[in-house]
Chains A and B, each alone.
Chain A
Amino acid sequence: MFNVKGSSFFNKPLWGLLVTIAATTFVTAALAPVQSEVGLLNEGLLLLLLTLFISAAWGWRVGLFAAVVTNLTLNFFFVEPLHRFRVQEPRNILALGVFLAVSLTGGRLLAIAQRAAAAARRRQAETEALLELSRAMIGQRDAQGTLQTLCSQLVDAFDARGASVLGSSGEDWSVLAWAGAESARRVPDREESSAAERAVRQGTPSSLGFTDLATGRRPRIVLPGSFRGVRKPVRNILFMPLRVGDTPLGILRLDGPIGQTPFREHPERLLGAFAGEAALALHRVELARLAVRAAALQQADEMKSALMTSVSHDLKTPLASIKAAVSSLLDREVAWSPEDVEVFLQTIDSQTDQLDRLISDILNLNRIESGTLTPERKPVEVRHLLEEANERALLATSGRHVKVTAPQLSPVFTDELLTVQALVNLIENAAKYSKEDGDIRLDAQVLESTVELWVEDDGPGIAPEDLPHVFERFYRAGDRSRRVKGSGLGLAIVKGFVDLCGGEVRVESSPDRTRFTISLPIAQRGVLTK
């Protein structure tokens, strides 16, 4: 499976054999002078104790060796006739036989108990590692964090060189997260890719180097283009597929050699559990992401249908007037007077304009929101912006006294068309909400690195509770009263345009005055294009 780094030196059986011989020699040497005082029974028990100790330390095979050695020693040094293997008394033959049987059985039982204890320790370690993993994963909300945690937990649990999670995008694998040695972040080469794909395809672990986890054999890798005679460096990598049900979510790559951990013998068990945890965590993250997305989509959907309702209402209203006027004109039953015809035609004319404005507003807003509007920013004279806007809003401001008082200021860096349109919307808005013969003032001033342009009216002002919402779509101040006509989009468009121009818009209002301010950056000298 994996070659193991730093495997315990004293655990090797050779040491067991040496210790057996040395200890037996020592015990024999110590007991020989006082043989008659100690007695055969105690000597036998002492050697039996030694055998059991060796069985416990080096397993039952070395234990068997120890049993034979101690038995022979007992026979040779302590059973009459001494220093011969022949046994004089038949009961001593029986005693030696019993001694051998007890030491073998005892050694064997000890070894079994020890193996069970080792397995229990391993399971405990596995459980602890998994618990640690779960604990670490619980805190993770995003896929990246989850995978990162998984990798570092893997490196810790296996004392491995490195661990990484790979995701496939079409043909290629990419490293989603990694931990351990820097080499863990490498992009898989061809050999690795094919092993990874095999693991994904079969849904079982696959490895490069030593033995294959699935088959227990060492895989033979023949790569096209590899030269005969050139020995490939031995690789030591394990791939574990991450999946939930039949859905592959990625692959886990563990770089050997792994350390002396309780999982060294059967890494696939813990790896499988890790992979399961990781896959579930990934799945959870994915589901959470989908849920968030679904919620966002639902919200967008609700907003869209609210928009649709509002838009359809606003579109149908002028249509109703037009339809009433047109179907009246088409009605041959009535001989309409020239004044009647005039009224119908005027209705059609004004309502078509209203529809046109509304549709333009909706389209503009759509362009802002879909990001298809690209501003062309360049230095523009402030006074020019205000005068241009004033001129274009003349129709809407008829009857109002509009005053442009902006002094000569540094040019601002903005998109001229969008800024003028934003100002026009503000002026029309001021005209809509102000008195028939009210004042509308357009002015500007420099504030630090920006120029502030404002449109101020002496209308009734905006209620404090409405102020935070005036730039929202379809929000009309004091909406219950629909006396003031409009799409409810004008100020939303102002905000959209000003944002695009890199500026800011804000509103202040008191009961007899409302001021909308657009602040735009001053053009740097020498900056002529964006």
Chain B
Amino acid sequence: MSGARILIVDDEAQLRRALARSLTGHGYAVREAEDGADALREFEAFKPDVVLLDLVLPDISGVDVCRELREKSQTPIIVLSVIGDEKAKVQALDQGADDYLTKPFSMDELLARIRVALRRGSSDRAQQPVIHAGELTIDFERRLVTVAGEEVRLTPTEYSLLKYLALNAGRVLTHPMILRAVWGAEYVDDTHVLRTYVNQLRSKLRDDPASSRFIRTDPGVGYRFAEPDPIS
């Protein structure tokens, strides 16, 4: 999706400059912000399609910026973090950030994440009747899940979990986010329940946790459903 607008929020001028050059070269329209106040201002003026947000900013924290942006819009936010920022990273994801990248990252990774974010921003998956991801097919209208053509019998909770993960395919979902969406707000701390269900789901889908095809673990953060096949 060339021509999309990207706002880079980072206090490191050198990084902003390199990212801006590179993204411009890839056909994106880019603007930069060096702190939180600047970011909120630019967001209003520029109306970006994706925000790249550093968590360590000179004035307010990236997590706060994330929260403020979420109050205004659903624009995808990709958090740029450094090892050691894990806590802030998870907080930002809980505040509504869509994805994260750990510095240093290659432009390929960044471009791939931007593409996923843009796709999600533009299409509403809930309206798709069927999702295909490799051998896995989920037919939402018939509540039918098949792996390699064979039907997989799921309990209602397992189905809800799979549906939520699949509808957010490619996006990292934190434990509290999944628990809130599938079980309800009062269950946000029951990570062990989630872990049990994910294991059940994986075994029913014949998914190997070590080299997962469908449900990937983001250590210390949450789960991420495999990128679905392009909509045909």
A: residues with CB less than 8 A from B are 309, 312-313, 316-325, 327-328, 331, 333-334, 336, 340, 343-344, 347, 350-351, 480-483
Whole-angstrom distance between the Cβ of A329 and the nearest chain B Cβ? 9
- Compute how far the CA of A25 lies from the CA of B80 in the bound complex, rounded to whole angstroms: 116
Given contacts A317-B82, A481-B58, contact A347 B25 (CB under 8 A): no
B15 touches A324 (CB 8 A): yes
Residue of B15, B21, B85 near A320 (CB, 8 A) is B15
Given contacts A344-B21, A482-B11, A482-B58, contact A331 B104 (CB under 8 A): no
A313 neighbours in B (Cβ, 8 Å): 56, 82-85
Q: Which residue of B lies closest to A480 (CB)?
A: B58
Residue of A319, A344, A347, A483 near B104 (CB, 8 A) is A319
A333 touches B26 (CB 8 A): yes
Q: From DSSP, what is the main secondary structure of chain A's interface residues?
A: helix
Whole-angstrom distance between the Cβ of B40 and the nearest chain A Cβ? 18
- Compute how far the CA of A198 lies from the CA of B123 in the bound complex, rounded to whole angstroms: 87
A331 touches B107 (CB 8 A): yes
B106 touches A312 (CB 8 A): no
A321 neighbours in B (Cβ, 8 Å): 12, 14-15, 18
B22 touches A324 (CB 8 A): yes
Q: Which residue of A lies closest to B19 (CB)?
A: A324
- Compute how far the CA of A83 lies from the CA of B109 in the bound complex, rounded to whole angstroms: 133
Residue of A316, A331, A344, A350 near B82 (CB, 8 A) is A316
Given contacts A319-B103, A336-B25, A480-B58, contact A328 B12 (CB under 8 A): no
Whole-angstrom distance between the Cβ of A500 and the nearest chain B Cβ? 31
Q: Give a binary string over B5-24; 1 marks a CB under 8 Å from any A CB, 0 the rest.
A: 00000011011011101100
A320 neighbours in B (Cβ, 8 Å): 12, 15, 80, 82, 103-105
A340 neighbours in B (Cβ, 8 Å): 21, 25
10 smallest beta-carbon distances between A and B, as pairs: A323-B104, A320-B103, A327-B106, A328-B22, A320-B104, A334-B25, A327-B107, A309-B84, A321-B14, A319-B104
Q: Which residue of B lies closest to A340 (CB)?
A: B21
User: Would you list which residues of chain B between 99 and 132 have a CB under 8 Å from chain A?
Assistant: 103-108, 110
Provide a sorted-by-A list of 13 A–B residue pairs whose CB atoms are within 8 angstroms: A313-B82, A313-B85, A320-B12, A320-B15, A320-B104, A323-B103, A323-B106, A324-B19, A324-B22, A331-B107, A336-B25, A344-B18, A351-B14
- Compute how far the CA of A87 lies from the CA of B133 in the bound complex, rounded to whole angstroms: 132
Q: Give a binary string over B39-65; 1 marks a CB under 8 Å from any A CB, 0 the rest.
A: 000000000000000001011000000
B110 neighbours in A (Cβ, 8 Å): 324
B14 touches A316 (CB 8 A): no
B84 touches A312 (CB 8 A): yes
B17 neighbours in A (Cβ, 8 Å): 343, 347
Whole-angstrom distance between the Cβ of B122 and the nearest chain A Cβ? 22
B15 neighbours in A (Cβ, 8 Å): 317, 320-321, 324
Interface centre among A317, A322, A347, A351 (most CB of B within 10 A): A317
Whole-angstrom distance between the Cβ of A319 and the nearest chain B Cβ? 4
- Compute how far the CA of A318 lies from the CA of B18 in the bound complex, rounded to whole angstroms: 11
Given contacts A312-B82, A312-B84, contact A343 B58 (CB under 8 A): no
- Compute how far the CA of A344 lies from the CA of B23 in the bound complex, rounded to whole angstroms: 12
A328 neighbours in B (Cβ, 8 Å): 18, 21-22, 25, 107
A309 neighbours in B (Cβ, 8 Å): 84
Whole-angstrom distance between the Cβ of B90 and the nearest chain A Cβ? 16
- Compute how far the CA of A375 lies from the CA of B37 in the bound complex, rounded to whole angstroms: 48
Whole-angstrom distance between the Cβ of A512 and the nearest chain B Cβ? 23
Q: Which residue of B lies closest to A343 (CB)?
A: B21
A324 touches B18 (CB 8 A): yes
B58 touches A323 (CB 8 A): no
A312 neighbours in B (Cβ, 8 Å): 82-84
A323 touches B14 (CB 8 A): no
